[in-house]
């Protein structure tokens, strides 16, 4: 199975900060990488698909990028509503596998 | 608008089975895969498998072979997941999500307890 190593596991940042979360794939996954935001008690929400494509309705402060086997989700200027868990998913190979998640909080 | 409405929370006994549903609306049910995902309390997400309602084809995470069975009823646009031989390790929230994960159900909490 492809391992998705997500870091950090938790992150505390100030409002307005630039925040980056990373997933490293154990094998080549091309751009088959999706980022999700999940707020407490809610379903995951797709934020980025195809590694770099912003999903419909997602604020432009969110972006996705790739450098080799490292995939990043960046929030350019942190807002209070961004407090959530974030997950990555590879969908190139079965079984699809998620990262272990990042808990983002406001400092 | 696309909606996935899941069935309500279940409290079930160890060793029993449970069948949860995901009713789709707002799109052609038979044209898109339906995925199922598990989330244990405080844990990350785990992909269980998918079903293509158009022809009933399925693909499972080997870890869930024998545990989860995915079916779909075209007449009611509803996908189902049956979980068998339940143990405490099966206590979790289970989500359905349409192909490409743009749309998710609200989740179904399954609690396995005697």
For chain A, list residues whose CB is within 8 angstroms of any CB belonging to chain B.
34, 36, 43-46, 49, 55-56, 87, 89, 91, 94-101
Average pLDDT rounded to a whole number, residues A94-102: 97
Q: For residue A31, which phi and psi values (nearest 5 degrees)?
A: -110, 25
Does residue B10 surpass a pLDDT of 90?
yes
Q: How far apart are CA B52 and CA A104, in angstroms?
A: 35
Q: Looking at residue A50, what DSSP letter applies?
A: T
Nearest chain A CA: its distance from B93 CA (Å): 10
Suggest the residue from A39, A89, A95, A97 to mutate for an interface test with chain B (most B CBs closer than 10 A). Answer: A95
A52 touches A34 (CB < 8 A): no
Encode pLDDT of B17-44 as tens digits.
999 999 999 999 999 999 999 999 878 9
Q: What pLDDT score was predicted for residue B43?
A: 80
Listed in sequence order, the residues at least 6 apart from B72 whose beta carbon sits closer than 8 Å to its beta carbon are: B29, B34, B51, B53, B56, B78, B79, B80
Rg of chain A on CA atoms, in Å: 13
Check pLDDT > 90 for residue A93. Answer: yes
Residues of A in contact with B34 (CB under 8 A): none
Q: Is the confidence at residue A54, as pLDDT, over 90? A: yes
């Amino acid at each position: 199975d492809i391992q998705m190593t997500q870091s950090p596991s938790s992150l505390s940042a100030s409002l307005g900060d630039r925040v980056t979360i990373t997933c490293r794939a154990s094998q080549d996954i091309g751009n088959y990488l999706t980022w999700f935001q999940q707020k407490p008690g809610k379903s995951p929400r797709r934020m980025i698909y195809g590694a770099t494509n912003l999903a419909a309705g997602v604020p432009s402060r969110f972006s996705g990028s790739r450098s080799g086997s490292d995939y990043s989700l960046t929030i350019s200027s942190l807002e209070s509503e961004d407090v959530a868990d974030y997950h990555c998913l590879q969908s190139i190979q079965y079984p699809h596998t998620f990262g272990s998640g990042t808990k983002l909080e406001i400092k | 608008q696309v909606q996935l409405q899941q069935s309500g929370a279940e409290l079930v006994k160890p060793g029993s089975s449970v069948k949860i549903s995901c009713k789709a609306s707002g799109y052609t049910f038979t044209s898109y895969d339906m995925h199922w995902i598990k989330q244990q309390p405080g844990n990350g997400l785990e992909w269980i498998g998918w079903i293509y309602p158009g022809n009933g084809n399925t693909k499972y995470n080997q870890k869930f072979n024998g545990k989860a069975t995915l079916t779909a009823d075209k007449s009611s646009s509803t996908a189902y997941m049956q979980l068998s031989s339940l143990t405490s390790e099966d206590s979790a929230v289970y989500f359905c999500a349409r192909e490409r994960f743009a749309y998710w159900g609200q989740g179904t909490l399954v609690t396995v307890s005697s």
